[in-house]
Structures are given as structure tokens and as C-alpha cells.
Structure 1
């Protein structure tokens, strides 16, 4: 592979960081996707990015399907590579974009996975709050469930973003889009306890980051994912487990209890209402309650 390939990857990463303001987590995924395509190029004897043609892209797409990857994963890889080559065309590093005419496979329409309210209670009960790290973990869990924020958004919270007097938090979302989100009494109490006790014990030097790691530095989104995964495993909850499930639970519980979609859209920070519409599903408990209330022979 030519040195120009590595230069192009570095240029793309800078583009994602500066122009697109993507999170480090997203950038790492994109970087992995592009390196995977570089490996495919090496297998096919393609030494330069300008050597890639549409038929090579079709062959690459076939390879992804043969690997049994989910449609959503394949769609992300194709979208990433399309953006990658689009930037290179703009910068005059390649002549054309071989991914331009490649259709992105439509993802399967699946209901978002979420925790039931009883399961969330089980998750909260699994956290020990008699240590500084335990208080921090409880604050993270309470804040994420109270606000529905993304893991990366949680990691970026500064002390100055929190107003405990009126229980409101300023979230710096994707694309530099800020939004204010209220939080309830449980999150308020957890934050108060953490800030006045646990955080002071963790802090080694002055820092404005709300959540700190065991060394006193800023907790990263990767660190938060690790913490949440351990809490979920410790609670013995079954089924698919991942931190984003807490965000799904936040939206599902709001919608099931009567919140309107526009409000949920604003709280989640979705640019389009269509992104929020996946939460219009209802839980079996809500269905049964509605059925018993309205059916004449329930």
C-alpha cells in the first residue's frame, strides 16, 4: 500500500474531528471500517485508492454479506467509505468516488431493546454507594436514565453544565447542538451525594469534568461503557445488554406513560422526528392495561 493511503486516512480523521465534530467513539469505528477496506485492497492487489473501481466496491460488498454482518453494520461501512472517498475527491486526491452509486442496504426494522421499570430498579439496587466509585457509578446511572443522554454526552458533562438548584443539565450533543434537559429527584440526590463526597475523594487536581476516574482524571466514554456493562452484568439481568439500552428505556418509559413524541425528540436530541418514531411501540404491560380499561368484555 502506498504512503498516500495512510495520509488520506489521517486527513479523514481530522475531517471527522474538526468539521463533523464526531465523538471519539464514532471516529474509532470509522477508522476500523476504513482499515478493513485497506486490507481488502491489499488482498485484491489494489495499491492506490485511485485504482478502486465500482466493480471492486461490488466485490467488497459481497464479501461483507458473506461474512454474515448485519445490514446495519454493512450500511455504516458503506456510508463511511462513501464519505471517505467524497472527501478525497474534494481534496483532489482521487479522481472519482467509486462508492457514489452503491446503494446502502436498508436495515431491519426492529423494536429498540429496553429495560422494564422493574429491571431498572434491579439495576439501581445493584450499585453499592458506600464508596467514592460507587457514588460516581450511581450518579452516572441515575443521570443517564433521567435524561436519556448518550454515553459520549455523559462523558463530556462539566460541573458548570449542572444546575442543582433547578435540576437542569446542559448537554452538548452531536454536531455542536446543545440542549437543556431536566432531571428528577433521584438523579438530583445521587449527583448531590457524589459531588459533595465521592467526587472530592476522587479528585487529585482541579478539574471541571463531572465524572472522574479512579486516578482523578476525566472519565472517558469508553470508561463509562465499561462501568455500565459491569453494573448490568452484576445485576444478573438477562437478554441483550448494552449501555445504549438505558437511553432506549428512558424514551420507552416516557412514551408509555403518555409523553408526546415532539417532547421526547427534543429530550433525546434527535434532528428528525423519524428517529424518535421507533419509540412509538408500547410495552406488553401498557397494552394489557389499555385493553382492560377499554374493551367491554375484558
Structure 2
């Protein structure tokens, strides 16, 4: 029924069964071991022919007979996928324009911390709740550039990134099982401070509060006019003043400023269309903001000297003095250039405490709230979707709270 042959000093078994000829290396040069495996195959063939053993459909016949019916195909030993390789595979599989560039940048920062603390060669499948808890504990003892300990919010974002990559790995067949993030313990998270005026923040810092409070600054309408006047007189690049005004009067994010095109501006209809990428998951969406009179005047003046590209904010010559000079083929301005030139125009002035474009967005929202504009309308203009976003400026809405408190503790008539 079965025979043996020697090739390259190793035994092969040859079997004719079911009208087919099978040859399989026995991976041994020992004759007695080869004869024992041959006898096993012949016994299993007899069991099959007697109906006491059934070969599954599509099974590897020789593997089945050599394993006494325990295996129906050759065992596949997968390579040990490392943490680093899991992330590399994730980025390789990422479709173009699936995530915002700043989201990708932040996720890659998280990746670097994960690889640094856990080790690039960590076997991904060996990940456990204990490994993640050790990561959280280690990160909680590290300090930021400002000298403060890392917040629970920051560490949670890193774990969320890892979770996203893990879930992709499960769907792609790279790893299996649930992400082991149940019952992890984090440092206490700090609620972001509500938006406050310049005077409020300055008073608290003089009393010993952290300089981080400037992140919650919003400018009132008088200050908005002053900073726009300052930028107009000090900006080296002509697009900066209209870009500042656009952000201050629409609440547009930095990425939305860079995506803005001339076709999105309808001066006659008095409305601007902003292109979003985060509000609706998996979709690009838009929102419309009315053009106020001051912004309309700035845009009309800017359009007279506009260089002629499709983008609202651009410059005819290569823009220098940015940390990264890589040119974006789709947009003449990069995120780095926008941030760099924001800092340069306020550097050395009283406005130097403003951290970036987001302050102008905060200011637009806060001024809308302070002037009693309906929250639903503000949400429509700025694209807010979560309660935590609204909470940071809700205290600015005119209300009867103070009057109610006075009434509660007023002297009886």
C-alpha cells in the first residue's frame, strides 16, 4: 500500500490512495522511525476504508493520515507580530484622506510613546491588561514640557489610539481577541477650564495659577478689533490679516482656513461655506456661516489683491521661515506654515500670550454666547456636537442666575 524511498539522506513515504499518488517527506533519516510512520499510515488507511475514520472534505490527505486524523491540514505557524509592525501595517492599510492630517500626527505621537515605553518588539498578541496598566503607571510619572505630570486625559487618548489600531488588527486578522482595556486605572483627569477674559486669566496667574490658563483665553470684540488692527500693520505676508479676520468672524478651525476656497465665499449672498472632516464620522461635511459686515469689507479688499489661486489664503511665492518646508501640492499653505506665521506676527507684542488660531475660534464662540445668540445657532455655525464642548462657554450665556441668588438671600420686606 505504502512505500519508502530515500532522497537527500531522508525518507519519503509514497502512497497510492483513492486513485491518487501522494509523496510526503517523513523528515527523518532513521529507518526504524520511517517504518513506524509507514505502518501508522497503512493502519489509518485501513480505518478509512472500513468507515471507522472519515477524511474531511478538502483535507490534506497525508497530513490527516500521519496525524491519526487529528489534523486536516498542515499547521500554519504565524510570525510573531510586534507592536511596531502592527502600527506599520495599520498605516500601510490606511486609505488616502481617511483621517485628518493633525489626527494622524497626534496618533503617531501616541505610537512613539507606546513603542518607547512598551518596546517596539513587544509581541502584540501578548498584550494584557497588566501590560497596559504598567504603561499607564509609567506614563503618569512622566512630566510634560511645562514641568507638570502627564494628565489622565492625555494617557487615555494614547490608549484610545492603541485600541483603534488593535480593532483594525482584529478585522485584518493580524491579532485576535478583545483589547484588554477593562478596569484600567488612570490618574484623575482635569476638566478643561471654561473660556475666560484676559483680565480674569491675568488676575488668576498673578495669584499663582498656572500659565496654562492662557489656553482658555477668549478676546472680547474690542480686543478682536485691536488685534486685527495690529496684524494688519505688522504682518509681512498679505494673506495673514484676512486670515485672522476670517477666523475671528467665523470661528473656523485652522484646517478649515487652509481648505477654504474662493468658491466657498458668497459675498452677494452674505454667507461662507466651511468644509469639515470630523463632525460626521467617515464623511466630509459642510456648514454655513453668515458674513458679518467687518469680514465682508476685509474680504472685498483681499480679493482685489488675491494672487489668483483657487484657495482663499495663499501667497504667490514660496513661504519661508516655517519649521517644515515641505510643500503641499493640494494647498499652497501647510499647517506648519500657518502656525509658524501666526506666532511670528504676535511675537514680541502684548498678543504673544495667544497660543494659536484656536483662540480666535474660542473668541468667536464666546462672544456669540455673551451676546445671547441661541446655542443651537452657535452649534450650527461652529460645528459643535458634544456637551463637553458646549460646557466650556455655557457660563457666558446671559441668565437670571445672579438675580435668582439675590432674590434667595434678600431681606424680607
C-alpha contact 1:12 1:84 (8 A) present in aligned 2: yes
TM superposition shift of 1:152: 0.8
Are 1:123 and 1:231, in contact at CA under 8 Å, matched by a contact in 2?
Answer: no
1:162-173, aligned counterparts within 5 Å?
Answer: 162-173=265-276
> Does structure 1 residue 70 correspond to structure 2 residue 151?
yes
Do the aligned partners of 1:81 and 1:99 also contact (CA within 8 Å) in 2? no
Return the alpha-carbon distance in structure 1 between the equivalents of residues 376 and 92 of structure 2.
34
SS for the counterpart of 1:127 is helix
The root-mean-square deviation of aligned C-alpha atoms, in Å, is 3.2
- 8 Å CA contact retained: 1:154, 1:221: no
Write the distance in 2 (CA, Å) between the matches of 1:277 and 1:59: 33
Q: How does 1:44-123 map to 2 (within 5 A)?
A: 46-67=121-142, 68-101=149-182, 102=184, 106-112=189-195, 113-117=216-220, 118-123=222-227
SS in structure 2 at match of 1:133: coil
Distance 1:168 1:240 in 2: 28
- Could you say which residue in structure 2 is the equivalent of 1:230? 344
* Deviation digits for residues 122-165 of structure 1 (CA, Å, limit 9, x no counterpart): 3112213598823x111111111111111111111112111122
Partner of 2:116: 39
1:270-285 matches, within 5 Å, as 270-282=384-396
1:194 to 285, 302, 308: 302
Structure with larger RCO (C-alpha < 8 A, sep 6+): 1
Q: State the 1:18 CA deviation.
A: 4.8
Q: Tell me how far apart the structure 2 counterparts of residues 233 and 291 of structure 1 sit (CA, whole Å).
A: 39
Contact kept? 1:151, 1:221, Cα under 8 Å:
yes
Cα-to-partner distance string for 1:216-274 (whole Å, 9 max, x where unaligned): 86212222222222333354136463321111111111000111111111111122344
Residue 22 of structure 1 and its aligned partner are, at CA, apart by 2.6
Q: Which has the higher helix share?
A: 1
Alignment pair present for 1:29 and 2:106: yes
TM-fit CA distance, 1:295: 6.8
- How many residues are matched? 282
Does structure 1 conserve the Cα–Cα contact (< 8 Å) formed by 2:235 and 2:345? no
Q: 1:33 to 1:86 in 2, by over 3 A?
A: same
Counterpart position of 2:357: 243
State the TM-score, normalized to the length of structure 2.
0.60
Gaps of 5+ in 2: 1-79, 143-148, 196-215, 320-330
Q: Would the alpha carbon gap of residues 233 and 14 (structure 1) be closer, same or farther in structure 2, given more than 3 Å must change?
A: farther
Q: Does the C-alpha gap of structure 1 residues 32 and 195 become closer, same or farther in structure 2, counting only changes over 3 Å?
A: same
Distance 1:224 1:14, change over 3 A: farther
Provide closer, same or farther for how the CA distance between residues 187 and 17 of structure 1 changes in structure 2, counting only shifts above 3 A: farther
d(CA) in 2 for partners of 1:141, 1:240: 13
User: C-alpha separation between the residues in 1 aligned to 2:141 and 2:291?
Assistant: 46
Structure 1 residues 238 and 224: CA distance shift in structure 2, 3 A: closer
Specify the SS of the correspondent of 2:193. Answer: coil
Q: Please report the TM-score for the alignment, with normalisation by the length of structure 1.
A: 0.81
Q: Aligned residue for 2:34?
A: none
Question: Bigger radius of gyration, 1 or 2?
Answer: 2
CA distance, structure 2, for counterparts of residue 268 and residue 120 of structure 1: 18
The alignment status of 1:141 with 2:216, answered yes or no, reads no
Match of 1:124 among 224, 228, 244: 228
